[in-house]
Amino acid sequence: MANVVVVGSQWGDEGKGKIVDWLSEQADIVVRFQGGHNAGHTLVIDGITYKLSLLPSGVVRPGKLSVIGNGVVIDPRALLEEIDRLKGQGIDVTPQSLRIAENATLILPLHQELDAVRESSNMLTRVGTTRRGIGPAYEDKVGRRAIRIMDLADPLALGRKIERLLAHHNALRRGLGLEEVGVGTVREQLESVAPRVLPYLDSVWSLLDHKRREGKRILFEGAQGALLDIDHGTYPFVTSSNTVAAQAATGSGLGPSAIGYVLGICKAYTTRVGEGPFPTEQANDIGRLIGERGREFGTVTGRPRRCGWFDAVLVRQTVRTSGINGLALTKLDILDGLRELKVCVGYRLDGREIDYLPAGEHAQAEVEPVYETVEGWQAETARARSWAQLPAQAIKYVRRIEELVGCPVALLSTSPEREDTILMQNPFET
């Protein structure tokens, strides 16, 4: 039995929530291993829609253990709000169903304020962040001044750690013309949430190791997409963490040998939220049509997503950087009725053709897509649950994608409902 890592193979918003929910039925444990509440997952179960940002998608399934790993940055107020919101929908999140890594970094209000000021400033490149404090919190983690969730249990040492943090932040705030923050203010913010958060704490690395040795199936749930990876994405228009599959090991405390299968999620077209390069973007009627049909608005921000044709170059690249074994192709039904489709098979840069996305910011902005035209289909693929229910041209489209990206399609999603899924390869049994 393989432990499975699910990662986005584009710029996020690929439909990971549904796929993780579908796979969680076979899993015993679902683990979030990076990112924060800037990620959004929408689940539709028995007609009820659940919107999650920080909690693992498995939390809505009874009998599953959900885990937030050390690679996640946690806003304790957002965490508690999400727990309370789920309780209002009949999902009771308890310390028996959710465990949080004691060494995870906390996001504070000062992080969010700094994030917003930077994003609004004309002095820096706007990257389109969600302004939720994710980047500044990761900066403090790397700078060895972060307050971690375990620090809430040590009031005597907390004051000193807050002073260390504010020595950095108040200097920044003075430079930005912001009022300084006092130690007492931050302490009060933390002490107000500590009683409700501390019962969930655990040595997650040890917990997961024991569960793995017991033969439990572990599903690792990534946030965002591989093209937003701080190292392998479209830098600087990226998130502040590693989003590729290898981070599942680092961000949970399990070694890489615990990972057996990597499932990459990608749409049958391409979308992106925020700033940055997007070679196949269609800022025209086609892009608007795809956006309207696909309801392409950010789960967290509500911002409209930029839409374009499927980019096989990018997905082929993320298949390699994440070691993807199989793809879950989502939203095929959004392309129903289009007479012809285009697929990007290469780029043109400075008069020559290349088969990869260059790392340089300028080069990424300058590449031009080389398209292959594919015949569309007029019949519906929506709610199909077997290959036999798909139009012949839709099958050809899927097969062509497999050829171009060098990876088989393991799952095909034809609606937001979990049952509308065609299975070709079960990741847990590979």
* Residues taking part in catalysis: 13, 41
Residues 21, 9 contacting (CB under 8 angstroms): no
CA 127/CA 115 separation, integer angstroms? 11
CA 122/CA 127 separation, integer angstroms? 12
Residue 15 one-letter amino acid: G
Residues 240, 143 contacting (CB under 8 angstroms): no
Cis? peptide before 95, omega within 30° of 0: no
CA 109/CA 112 separation, integer angstroms? 5
CA 213/CA 255 separation, integer angstroms? 13
CA 118/CA 70 separation, integer angstroms? 26
Q: Would you list the DSSP string of 56-123?
A: -GGGGSTTPEEEE-TTBEE-HHHHHHHHHHHHHTT----TTTEEEETTPEEP-HHHHHHHHHHHH-SS
Residue 94 one-letter amino acid: T
CB neighbour list of residue 426: distance below 8 Å, 6 or more residues apart = 26, 410
H/E segment holding residue 310:
strand 310-311
Tokens standing for residue 248: 């599942």
If you search the block for the tokens 């002490």, which residue do you land on? 191
Tokens standing for residue 98: 């959710």
3-state helix, strand, coil in the chain (%, to 5): 35, 20, 40
Among the residues of 218-329, which ranges form H helices?
A: 247-250, 285-294, 312-321
Short-list 342, 338, 343, 336, CA closest to 390: 336
CA 118/CA 121 separation, integer angstroms? 5
CA 299/CA 322 separation, integer angstroms? 24
Tokens standing for residue 387: 């290959």
CA 66/CA 219 separation, integer angstroms? 10
Residues 20, 58 contacting (CB under 8 angstroms): yes
